Amino acid sequence: MELFWRRCSLAAVTIPLVLVMFRTGAALVHNYRLTNGFTPATPPSPYQQGIPVDEMDLSVYSAYLPKAYALPYYPWTSRLATPVTIRFYDEIPGHGTAPALEIRKGTAIVALPEDGPPFHKAGYGLNSYPSHVKGWRYVRPFQPVNGAHSPAFEQYYYVRIEDLNAVMGEVIKANQPLRVEAKRQVLSLQPFRHRSVTRMDTFLYRNGVYLSPDLLLHPFDRWNVIMTAAGVMVLLKAMVRGTRPSGRHFDA
């Protein structure tokens, strides 16, 4: 029984650590290929010069989006309730910075533009611009379905990519063409929604404008932390078990 426990403990420690090593290596290779494959445009773009995104003329980048697109076989579901509270900021916030605009969880929004291609309207909703800080996007907010038109929704703000990913997840669930595309690319929900939200980053990269930090992967992300912690806990438990007395006593 003791031998069986040791083998199970060894497997429980080894498997997570091997997965961590594999995922970390894959992230490093991905980042290396992106970095070495990027060819900066000449002259350097405002992104390359380090100019803040809120000081750029973003209209020039809309030309990088495809002009032609195929009509879907099914109608798009563009209106849905936001699954999270989305907070928009005038600048990338520090501690205690209040949002300039907030869309509460459960609010019905126009997640996809209804006046053209759903993913080819630069600067609206899910089709955001990258900033110079990983995880922060620059975009005009989603229009509420019910509510008076406000000039505040025509301005650009900074927003967390996690909020956009959450909305993108609901858009994927509501639209069969996106689910089919995810299967075609052999991607699960999380990587597919992130790839969809960073579409503009891909076009900027291909045109030598910018290597967005949101295209790069964390070598040691949350799942790696969880698996490492699980492996360490099992190892510690096995060590404690191994140091316990057997409970057998023999008299001289």
Same domain, 108 and 20: no
Average pLDDT, stretch 68-83?
78
- Which tens digit of pLDDT belongs to each residue from 21-58? 766 777 788 899 999 999 999 999 999 999 999 999 99
Q: Does residue 92 have a pLDDT over 50?
A: yes
Q: Does residue 76 have a pLDDT over 80?
A: yes
Same domain, 2 and 111: no
Average pLDDT, stretch 114-125?
81
Q: Kindly state whether residue 250 falls inside one of the protein's structural domains.
A: no
Do 160 and 167 touch, CB atoms closer than 8 A?
no
Q: pLDDT grade, residue 250 (50/70/90)? A: very low
What is the Cα–Cα distance from 150 to 185, expressed in whole angstroms?
39
Q: Kindly state whether residue 178 falls inside one of the protein's structural domains.
A: yes
Same domain, 113 and 202: yes
Q: Kindly state whether residue 13 falls inside one of the protein's structural domains.
A: yes
Average pLDDT, stretch 165-180?
93
Same domain, 87 and 177: yes
Q: What does the pLDDT read at residue 187?
A: 80
Say how many residues make up the chain: 252
Same domain, 117 and 180: yes
Do 129 and 139 touch, CB atoms closer than 8 A?
yes
For residue 210, give the nearest of 145, 116, 138 by alpha carbon: 138
Q: pLDDT grade, residue 252 (50/70/90)? A: very low
Q: Kindly state whether residue 251 falls inside one of the protein's structural domains.
A: no
Same domain, 18 and 125: no
Q: Kindly state whether residue 167 falls inside one of the protein's structural domains.
A: yes
Same domain, 79 and 199: yes
Question: Comparing 79-83, 122-126, 216-220, 223-227, which segment has the lowest mean pLDDT?
Answer: 223-227
Q: What does the pLDDT read at residue 189?
A: 87
Same domain, 203 and 227: no
The number of folded domains in the chain is: 2
Q: Does residue 235 have a pLDDT over 90?
A: no
Same domain, 92 and 148: yes
Which residue, chain included where needed, has tokens 């995880």? 135
Q: Where in the sequence is the domain holding 241, given as residue range(s)?
A: 1-38+216-245
Q: What does the pLDDT read at residue 21?
A: 77
Q: What does the pLDDT read at residue 166?
A: 97
Same domain, 183 and 60: yes
Same domain, 17 and 48: no
Same domain, 3 and 113: no
